[in-house]
């Protein structure tokens, strides 16, 4: 049996998790308003990943299989999007460095 303190701690985890998960929509909304078009910024995926992981922990504590499955599947999607972003940024950085070296000519700058 859980103690009242344990219950309150897990309730706090649940509320913090939900806040983090909800922040992704606020981040996306602000970024889209600034750009005047629909965009999904990188921060959206980090809030999704961390909020989703906390919500999964909360769901496991609550023994809710539907909530567990939904959050676990979401974590795969969020992780994959972060992987794509990092791979793209790395390729741009490597391509940018190569292009800068080529523009400088033989011997560099």
- Per DSSP, helices labelled H in 36-64 are 42-62
Full residue range of the structural domain in which residue 19 is found: 4-90
Give the model's pLDDT for residue 1.
66
pLDDT confidence of 103, banded at 50, 70, 90?
Answer: very low
Q: Is residue 46 part of a domain?
A: yes
Q: Which pLDDT score, from 0 to 100, does residue 97 have? A: 54
Residue 106 lies in a domain: no
In this prediction, residues 31-51 reach a mean pLDDT of 89
Question: Is residue 77 a part of any domain in this protein?
Answer: yes
* Whether pLDDT at 53 is above 90: yes
Looking at the domain assignment, is residue 22 inside a domain?
Answer: yes
Tokens, residue 85:
């972003």
pLDDT at residue 63 is higher than 90: yes
CB 51 within 8 A of CB 57: no
Q: Is residue 103 part of a domain?
A: no
How many domains does the chain contain in total? 1
Residue 21 lies in a domain: yes
CB atoms near residue 21 (< 10 Å): 20
Domain assignment present for 74: yes
6-23 mean pLDDT: 88
pTM over 0.85: no
Distance CA 109, CA 106 (A): 8
Rg (C-alpha) for the chain, rounded Å, is 20
Would you say residue 107 lies in a domain?
no
């Amino acid at each position: 049996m859980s103690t009242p303190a344990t219950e309150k701690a897990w309730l706090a985890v649940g509320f913090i998790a939900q806040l983090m998960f909800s922040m992704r929509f606020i981040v996306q909304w602000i970024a889209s308003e600034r750009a005047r078009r629909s965009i999904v910024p990188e921060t959206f995926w980090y809030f999704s990943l961390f909020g989703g992981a906390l919500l999964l922990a909360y769901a496991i504590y609550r023994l809710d299989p539907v909530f567990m499955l939904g959050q676990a599947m979401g974590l795969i999607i969020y992780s994959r999007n972060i992987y794509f972003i990092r791979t793209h940024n790395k390729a741009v950085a490597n391509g940018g460095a190569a292009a800068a070296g080529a523009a400088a000519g033989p011997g560099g700058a």
